[in-house]
Structure 1
Amino acid sequence: MAKRPLFFTDAYLQKLKREPGPFKKTETAAGRGEGRLIAKKAAGGALELYYRQRTPYDKLIKLGTYDAPGDLARIRRKLRATRARQIDTGDAKAALQAEKRQKDAERRKGTLEQLCSIYIDALRAAKKESTDRVEAIFRRNVIKPFPLLAKGKASAVTADDVKQTLARMVRRGVTRQVNLTRAYLHAAFEHAVKSDNDPRTVAQAGVLFSLKVNPVAAVPIIGEYERTLDRTLSEAELREFWNALDAAPLVQRQVLRFNIALACQRPTQLLRADWSAFDFDLETENYRGPALLLRDAKGRGGARDHLLPLTSFALEQFKPLRDRIGLTALPFTTDGTKRLTLETLSAVVTEISKALEKSHDIPAFQLRDLRRTAETMLQKLTIDKEVRAHLLSHGRTRGVQGKHYERYDFLPEKRQALERWAAHLKRIIAGQKEEKIVAFPAA
């Protein structure tokens, strides 16, 4: 007697579910074009349903686990879709695996917020001075005002998205920071491209961005927002600023005066220094005396030491800080626990500038203009260009020569330059007339 055709029903599968395994049952009476289900159960396992892909390898494709009556209808829908994929591709299992890989890759694609965060982490790892500023600009101009864009895939960001982001700043009256935001976004996308192609990212199953183009590249810089940085203070203006500092809080006042005495080093480098950076009795092959060691992380090639002799004039400006704080706290702090910030110093300079503009008709200036002023005055003092470069940490020779062979620290030359600078400042502060410097021709 011939066996009755077997067609899976909920009642039949419920019965199979209760039977002990192992066993395998195959439908023999499925509808035309429906495909046949295979039920398998291991010893002590769940009841699983499969589709047999009719290929030379007869692969089984798992469709799901049967647990409740509603599961059968869901599994048959998946069966029909699998058979259709088999007809279209010739290998449903391979097609499913390819789709899974594509979905996995899609899940791994990073968001714009992650792209910005990874770039900031890279800046922080390289100890770049701009790290905090870049992070603040991203947060203020991109992440907070455009949360949907920030949470979306970075690969979906278009040039139009970038334009809308910058346009919001323009409408608010922001000027130069528009170009800064554009520049930092461009750098972040470029970093993401490199990260995607880094074998370490792939090996660690890290976030991928799958960028085809840098969407920021198509958005032009706004030329009229590129302010020319050429403001320098005259001797009279510098004297008024120095005297106006008397009204500033002690810490901010003395930090600014101390930095001016050091020929205006980069404030971010100075504010990062702790007490270990000070050596009040340094002795080297060519220098003996107090010194301050700053870490210059600006530019490529990693951080480097920047050693500065401390003149008696500089120590005179530093003494009120040391007397107030002592050696137990940070040297540049208002509360003993947190470092003084660049924004705090900048705000003091801006406030004084506004007051001087009203009282003395002095054109506005900013913190950054003090460094340019010092460099200009050092030039007028005929300080050698190379000595100025080392004194102000303007960079180093690139390549093998700079990295391995140029090790001279220029400490004697720096001390001489700072002593001349101190004498120059004292004359300015005292209101004495400028001495005429005569350059004698070489013999």
Structure 2
Amino acid sequence: MLTEKQIRALKPAEKEFTVSDGRSARGEGVLMLRVRPNGTKEFYFQRRQADRKIKTKLGTWPSLSLTEARDRCREEKEVRLSVGTFGDLIDAYAAKLKVEGAASAKHVEWSFKHYVSEPFPNLVTRPAVMIGPAEIRDILAKMIANGVTTQTNRLRSRLHAAFQFAMRQEYNPRSYLKDDVRFGLHSNPVASIPVQADWEQPGDRALSVKELATLWNLLPEHLSITTAELLKFLIAAGGQRPEQLLQSERTLYQADHFTIRSKKGVEGERTLHVVPLNKLMKESLKVMDAISETSAYPFQGKVEGQPLNVQSLSRAVTKLYGRHTDKFDAPFTLRDLRRTCKTLMGLAGLDKQLRDRIQGHAFNDVSAKHYDRYDYFKEKKRGLDRWASWLEKNVIGPKS
């Protein structure tokens, strides 16, 4: 067994090496001391699981004494370890979203990689059961220290969902025996981490009629044809979610409507959202057909076979405002256009329930969720036609 004197006497070598604190019972794990070429000496708890070794850093000598390291090692041994690591857990959740076609799948995968896996490579190799509130706090604290605000809450929410997913899978009596990877979770470590409420202020910016008219008439001259026509289409369609609309292939566009595969909501609740076409929407599609009638998506981006990127669209709107700040009452973003359409459709005479149906909002009352199977196509068609006529009279006609 190691002694403080032996540790002090260990000299660094050209390559790092490790020294064991002695043997232990098979599967229990052992305390290791790693000596790096620069002379740093680190304590690790190491145990073998299946065909791989899992190491957990305990601290650096002499800040952490040998006695303290052994105490921490015993604590680690008391934890009932499972095969599944923290990295396995977040990967499994991201894969689940991707298989389901969730709208957030790519964002979740990117945030896990950018804020968890890359900055905390040692953490993701630890068994998920050994991840506690302190580890989650450290991940979020690093984001905050780097000036990240609302995305910190987003990552907290995604990590919470990932742990909940793992617990549901593990404690579901119908699926438990089917899972190859077990996590051994007893609770969700994210649950005790507070949401930073002051970073969750809901948006309230909606363009006035005059501002929307200004924007509409700026589009043809100040943006690319595809971007300009897409924004016109989104407005004429009553403010559909751009990220969902862009994922609708050309095959989902028919003579009198197009279909959005709604990817919002939880598994089993995602639906098809049918949007009737009005004359303004058809005009935009005609312009895009003149560019290409065979592209996989009506609003194709620079990459063949791929739709325009929603982030590019968002940046285009922000830059357009930046070039014409004197023409608008306040800054606005792509997300504000959906709120603008919802607000101004009310001014055009569409009641709230019809506006909700046009924008594809979910109706979660018992009647709507389980019994109402009427598609409301005719009502949405009349509403969008009325909206198009209102736009022609109040937005497209007047010149700012």
Q: Name the TM-score, length of structure 1 as normaliser.
A: 0.68
Q: 1:239 aligns with which of 202, 205, 213?
A: 213
**Letter of the structure 1 residue corresponding to residue 245 of structure 2:** L
1:380 aligns with 2:347: yes
* Aligned 8 A contact 1:127 1:303 in 2: no
Q: Are 2:263 and 1:297 equivalent residues in the alignment? A: yes
What is the CA distance between 1:418 and its match in structure 2? 0.8
Which of 338, 346, 361 is matched with 2:306 structurally?
338
Q: Which amino acid aligns with 1:277?
A: L
**Partner of residue 329, structure 1:** 296
Give the equivalent residue in structure 2 for 1:115: 89
Which deviations, in whole Å up to 9, do the C-alpha atoms of 1:72-104 show, x marking residues without a partner? Answer: xxxxxx9xx89xxxxxxxxxxxxxxxxxxx966
Paired letter, 2:246: L
| 2:319 alignment partner AA | E
Alpha-carbon distance in 2 for matches of 1:150, 1:256: 41
Map of 1:254-273 to 2, 5 A cutoff? 254-273=229-248
CA drift of 1:191 comes to 0.8
User: What does 1:207-218 align with in structure 2 at a 5 Å threshold?
Assistant: 207-218=181-192
In the TM superposition, what are the counterparts of 1:130-209 in structure 2 within 5 Å? 130-199=104-173, 201-209=175-183
CA distance in 2, matches of 1:240, 1:302: 38
Unmatched segments (≥5 aa) in structure 1 = 1-77, 83-101, 281-289, 434-443
Please give the secondary structure, in 2, of the residue aligned with 1:110. coil
Name the SS of the counterpart of 1:293 in structure 2. strand
Q: Secondary structure at the match of 1:208?
A: coil
One of 233, 236, 251 as aligned partner of 2:226:
251
Secondary structure, counterpart of 1:272 in structure 2: coil
Q: 1:156 to 1:108 in 2, by over 3 A?
A: closer
Calculate percent identity across the aligned residue pairs: 32
1:278 paired with 2:253, answer yes
How far, CA to CA, are the matches of 1:409 and 1:270 in structure 2?
19
Residue deviations 1:416-441 (CA, integer Å, cap 9, x gap): 111121122222132279xxxxxxxx
TM-score, with structure 2 as normaliser: 0.75
Which amino acid is the alignment partner of residue 219 of structure 1? I
> 1:125 & 1:200 partners in 2: Cα distance?
20
Closer/same/farther in 2, CA of residues 187 and 205 from structure 1, 3 Å limit: closer
Tell me if the contact between 2:81 and 2:129 (Cα under 8 Å) persists in the aligned partners: no
Summarize deviations over 1:386-434 as a string: whole Å, max 9, x none: 21121111113444x435531222122111111121122222132279x
Q: Deviations over 1:205-254 (max 9, x none)?
A: 41111112211111111121112211111112212222332211221221
Distance in 2 (CA, whole Å) between partners of 1:388 and 1:296 is 17
Q: Determine the C-alpha separation between the residues in 1 that align with 2:384 and 2:328.
A: 31
**Contact 1:111 1:150 survives alignment (8 Å):** yes
Does residue 314 (structure 1) correspond to residue 281 (structure 2)? The answer is yes
Amino acid at match of 1:386: Q
SS of 1:308's equivalent in the other structure is strand
How big is the shift at 1:108?
Answer: 4.8
Report the CA distance shift for 1:324/1:407 in structure 2 as closer, same or farther (over 3 A). same
Query: What is the SS of the residue equivalent to 2:272?
Result: strand
Whether the 8 Å CA contact 1:196–1:209 is kept in 2: the answer is: yes
The one-letter amino acid paired with 1:310 is L
Change (3 A) 1:107 1:213: closer
After the TM superposition, list the runs of 4 or more consecutive aligned residues in structure 1 that deviate by more than 4 angstroms.
102-108
In 1: Cα distance, 2:324 partner to 2:107 partner: 28
Q: 1:343 to 1:423 in 2, by over 3 A?
A: same
CA distance in 2, matches of 1:210, 1:259: 47
**For 2:141 and 2:289, how far apart are their aligned partners in 1?**
47
User: How many residue pairs align between the two structures?
Assistant: 326
Q: Which residue in 2 is equivalent to 1:356? A: 324
Contact 1:110 1:208 in 2 (8 A): yes
Q: Which amino acid aligns with 1:385?
A: K
Question: C-alpha separation between the residues in 2 aligned to 1:380 and 1:317?
Answer: 24
Helix, strand or coil for the counterpart of 1:279? coil
Cα deviation, residue 122, structure 1: 2.1
- Contact 1:231/1:365 (8 A) holds in 2: yes
Amino acid at match of 1:274: E
Cα distance per residue 1:260-290 (max 9 Å; x no partner): 110111112211111211111xxxxxxxxx1
RMSD, aligned CA? 2.6
Q: Cα distance, 1:180 vs. partner?
A: 0.8
What residue number does 1:430 align with?
Answer: 397
Measure the CA separation in 2 of the matches of 1:385 and 1:429.
24
Q: Which runs of 5+ in 2 are unaligned?
A: 1-22, 27-47, 51-78
Which deviations, in whole Å up to 9, do the C-alpha atoms of 1:138-174 show, x marking residues without a partner?
A: 1111111111112222111121111111111112211
Kept in 2: contact 1:108–1:206 (CA 8 A): no
Q: Verify the 8 A CA contact 1:349 1:366 in the aligned structure 2.
A: yes
Could you tell me whether the CA contact under 8 Å between 1:297 and 1:303 is conserved in 2? yes
- In structure 1, C-alpha distance between the alignment counterparts of 2:265 and 2:296, rounded to whole Å: 30
Task: State the match for 2:380 in structure 1.
Answer: 414
